[in-house]
Chains A and B, each alone.
Chain A
Amino acid sequence: MTGRAVAARLRTGAVALLAAVGLTAAATAPAAAEEYQPVETVHTERVQVGPYGMTVGFSTWPLHAMRSLDFTFTPDDGIAGKSGTLTAIGPDNPGARPQPLARHPRKRDVWGLDVRALPVEGQWTFRFTIDGPAGPGVGELTGLTVLAQPGPPMAVSWSISTLPLLGLVAFLVVAWRRVRPGRAPAAGAASG
């Protein structure tokens, strides 16, 4: 085969590759901002953080372990001129570290957590600190009940999800037993 013919074949392959990518991409348009779901609040709790009253909003209620939702944290007079931290203390992490309160990516006028799940069931506490025009304050939302995780037990989910790994290991074991590379000559002496 001539070099020109090989080049033509390569071009054909490249075009086929690009066509496959293009068709796949064209089949579905990328999401635009307006396609992202708005932040809904179906339940609220009140918490007093020093001098600041604040509403904690939940996009689903009741809460279940591992089921993600949007949290919103709205001081009564807005977030302008304020900063703060949130420490989510669960049954499994009494020494949780505080994280800065950040604006919700899809609701920029309040603080929040987007599509976040609390990982384990039990009683949770949200500890807030806020620093603003009225000075610093600390407050807690206690007794936040998180119910059991829905769906199959995690052991089942992990068993299903690691099947490719088990298949790969089985394949390698079979291949190893057939080839027996341990009996091969030292690497540098092997044929190249």
Chain B
Amino acid sequence: MEFTASGSVVGRAGPADHAQARPGAAALGLPAAGALLGGSALSLVGLTWDVQWHEDVGPDTFFTLPHLFLYSGSAVAGLASLAVVLATTAAQRAGRRVDPTLGGMPVGVFGRTFTAPLGYLVAGVGAASFLLYGLWDQWWHSLYGFDAVIDSPPHIGLLLSVTGTMIGTIVVFAAGRRHRWGPPGVVVSTAMLLAFSTVTVLGLQGLDGVVDAVAVGLAFLTTLLLVLASEFASRRPGGGLATAAVLALLQAVFWWFSPWAAHAYADLVGLPLRDYALAIPVMPALMPVCAVAVGALVDLPRWTSRRRTGPGRAAGLATGALGGALVAGLNGVQQHWLYGTHLPGTATLAATAALGAVAGLAAGLLGRGFGIMLRGVADVPAGRSAPGVPPGATAAATPVSPEGAR
């Protein structure tokens, strides 16, 4: 596996780089990035299946099939990241220029013992962390039993570890934004992270009071990731809406898949469904139905200002706050609609929506910044030398392979 620059380079790379480069390397970026995305998908499928299993069937062991999907997801992502880091390290040691569009700016690890593209480093650290928290979870269950509680400390540690891997996946696709597969990969991987995070925010349940802390956390993450996708798409408006549409697609697929998989697996192992099992898809029900509206909302300033100098900061802040208020305020309504639970009281709804607006405001600011950072993740700042990359190399000097040129 080669992770060095291809021979077709535009921009500021010098002649020496051409001499060191090898053709066709850019085409290998997609299989590696695809492996990360595949790992994320396995984790997502495993999570929705596992949550549904506990809701509708019940018994737990360390090696259920949904658990294996979760473990496999991190294993695939971790192995892919390790392979890329080793290949990049070998390329760097051989004196070949490392292509920053294949995983992001390369950084030195353990001094400069290893050279790791930023995205694969983040994804790999997430996978390694998952392994450690798996051990922590096993110890936890040996002490407390196999309670099927999603928001136990080790479970949240595991979910956060997968979150790290999924963030690394976004970085990898963002780095490849000049390749054909880069931008759609960012949309899909961001939607997958948002879908996955609907369970992670359940860790905030302990903070619930007058304000629905889970709804506020969901508002923050939804706004953050949709604004990030919108900002990353930059001059091509629609990143937020496209990401929300993929989330809606995942929601629809899992709405069918989750109960089907849980019940089919129960049949396979000869276990009955619980009495009073509602068979409502648990994880899809956590995903905000209003995300499509919020996606369109955060894209709105970009659409309306396309022919001018860009959306004003005030417009971005306002849409972020409104999006946050929508997600937070409608979360209780969605649960009432799906489960027939009591509607939250007026005070709770108002306080949750207000705090959601504040969270959305902050998320809008951060999401814009992260979107900008993602656009430049393959850039190496002028005057700073990353391992394997000559000073001054930027995304403008990225290799463009014949099949990846836009």
Contact = CB atoms under 8 A, between A and B. Distances in A.
B405 to A, nearest CB: 12
A61 interface: no
Interface in B111-152: 122, 125-126, 129, 133, 136, 140, 143-149
Given A115-B59, A164-B157, A164-B161, A24 B271 contact: no
A165 B160 contact: yes
B145 A67 contact: yes
A175 B171 CA distance: 12
Nearest to A32: B269
* Listed residue (A21, A29, A116, A158) with the most chain B CB atoms within 10 angstroms of its CB: A21
Interface string A59-92: 0000000111100000000000000000000000
Given A20-B75, A28-B63, A190 B157 contact: no
A108 B144 contact: no
A186 B381 contact: no
Q: Is the interface of B mostly helix, strand, loop or mixed?
A: helix
A112 to B, nearest CB: 10
Given A117-B149, A164-B129, A188-B235, A36 B310 contact: no
* Listed residue (A31, A105, A158, A172) with the most chain B CB atoms within 10 angstroms of its CB: A31
Interface string A9-36: 1101110110011001100111111111
B32 A13 contact: yes
A154 B163 contact: no
A143 interface: no
Interface in B215-233: 230-231, 233
Given A1-B403, A188-B309, A115 B370 contact: no
B14 interface: no
Contact of A189 (B35, B270, B272, B310): B310
B369 A16 contact: no
B130 to A, nearest CB: 9
Contacts of A21: 42, 72, 76
A117 B30 CA distance: 46
Contacts, number: 205
Nearest to A24: B72
Given A102-B276, A115-B145, A168-B167, A161 B136 contact: yes
A187 B302 contact: yes
Contacts of B370: 172, 181
A6 to B, nearest CB: 5
Contacts of A9: 27-28, 30-31
B371 interface: yes
Interface in A147-180: 150-151, 154, 157-158, 160-165, 167-168, 171-172, 175-176, 178-179
A190 B375 contact: yes
* Listed residue (B23, B272, B275, B276) with the most chain A CB atoms within 10 angstroms of its CB: B275
A68 B38 contact: no
Contacts of B27: 1, 5-6, 9
Contacts of B269: 30-33
Given A30-B65, A158-B153, A163-B157, A5 B24 contact: yes
A105 B271 contact: yes
Interface of A: 1, 3, 5-6, 9-10, 12-14, 16-17, 20-21, 24-25, 28-36, 66-69, 100, 102-103, 105-106, 108, 114-117, 150-151, 154, 157-158, 160-165, 167-168, 171-172, 175-176, 178-179, 181-182, 184-192
Interface of B: 23-24, 27-28, 30-32, 34-35, 38, 42, 57-61, 63-65, 68, 71-72, 75-76, 79, 122, 125-126, 129, 133, 136, 140, 143-149, 153-154, 156-157, 160-161, 163-164, 167, 230-231, 233-236, 265, 269-272, 274-276, 301-302, 305-306, 308-313, 316, 368-373, 375-376, 381, 401-403
Given A103-B275, A150-B143, A186-B310, 8 more contacts: A1-B24, A31-B61, A66-B144, A68-B146, A102-B275, A186-B313, A187-B368, A188-B306
